Amino acid sequence: MRGTDIAAKGGRRLMGLLEKYKFVLLVLLAGILLLLLPTFEGGDGTGGAGGTDPPSELAFDLEGLEKKLSDTLSEVEGAGEVSVVLTVKASTRQVLAQDITSSQKEGAVDEGRTTVVVSKGSGREEAVPLQQIYPQFQGALVVCPGGSDPEVRLKLVEAVSALTGLGSDKISICKGK
């Protein structure tokens, strides 16, 4: 009977510890499960290893936007073949997560900042982005054969303004060949 008393006492103690640390164990199990899940970042079968290019939804393609805008504005009646040039104030940038630590010694505050990084497996680490800031448009130039017609000019200015957020004073419409 003495052996069963020890086993019963140990079982109660184990149950007490499990009850006390159930949330810690739950977090650990969730972490282990997430580490075991495969990561599929790229469609090339490499799992995203070796690339530092930003994801495609975060990339800003100025030339592609100009081409798309040119093609669309060419559909405006009377405009003809349109060419668009856009200027931007700054390039695309990311605001990264930072861990800020501060300590106070003898009335002076010492503050330290470190960028938060996460492990992507296979020894890769990436910074944690908080926000993607796209460039703001600074101006637009539209060149087309119908650029001298006031009605076409108005339609083009309104279209470029609606698509870029630029005011009419930042959009120039010129007559082309």
Task: Output the domain CATH number for residue 88.
Answer: 3.30.300.30
Q: Looking at residue 100, what is its pLDDT?
A: 74
What token pair was written down for 171?
């959009």
CA triple 67-70-72, angle to 5 deg = 110
- The answer to the question of residue 22 being in a domain is yes
pLDDT top residue among 158 and 126: 158
Q: pLDDT tier at 154 (50, 70, 90 boundaries)?
A: very high
| Same domain? 143 vs 177 | yes
Distances (CA, A) of 33 to 18, 26, 27, 30, 42: 19, 11, 10, 5, 21
Q: SS3 string of 15-83?
A: HHHHHHCHHHHHHHHHHHHHHHCCCCCCCCCCCCCCCCCCCCCCCCCHHHHHHHHHHHHCCCCCCCCCE
- The answer to the question of residue 74 being in a domain is yes
| Same domain? 63 vs 88 | yes
Least confident of 80-94, 114-128, 156-170: 114-128
pLDDT (average), residues 142-159: 92
Closest CA to 120 of 14, 28, 24, 40: 40
The DSSP bridge pattern shows strands 124-127 and 98-105 to be unpaired
Coil, helix or strand for 153? helix
pLDDT top residue among 158 and 1: 158
| Same domain? 162 vs 81 | yes
| Same domain? 83 vs 138 | yes
Q: Over the stretch 101-145, which tens digit does the pLDDT of each residue have?
A: 777 777 777 777 777 777 777 777 777 777 777 778 889 999 999
Distances (CA, A) of 130 to 21, 92, 117, 123: 32, 14, 12, 22
Query: How many domains is the chain built from?
Result: 3
| Same domain? 82 vs 59 | yes
The answer to whether residues 40 and 49 touch, using CB atoms and an 8 Å cutoff, is no
- The answer to the question of residue 43 being in a domain is no
- Rounded CA separation 177/152 (Å): 16
- The answer to the question of residue 70 being in a domain is yes
Q: pLDDT tier at 175 (50, 70, 90 boundaries)?
A: very high
Q: Looking at residue 1, what is its pLDDT?
A: 53
What percentage of the chain carries pLDDT values higher than 70? Answer: 86
pLDDT of 158 above 90: yes
| b/e 47-77 (16+ beta carbons within 10 angstroms → b) | ebeeeeeeeeeeeeeeeebeeebbeebeebe
| Same domain? 71 vs 145 | yes
Q: Looking at residue 45, what is its pLDDT?
A: 43
- The answer to the question of residue 49 being in a domain is no
| Same domain? 112 vs 177 | no
Residue span of the structural domain in which 105 resides: 95-132
| Same domain? 125 vs 140 | no
Q: Looking at residue 170, what is its pLDDT?
A: 92
Closest CA to 31 of 128, 119, 142, 146: 119
pLDDT top residue among 60 and 56: 60
- The answer to the question of residue 45 being in a domain is no
| Same domain? 78 vs 108 | no
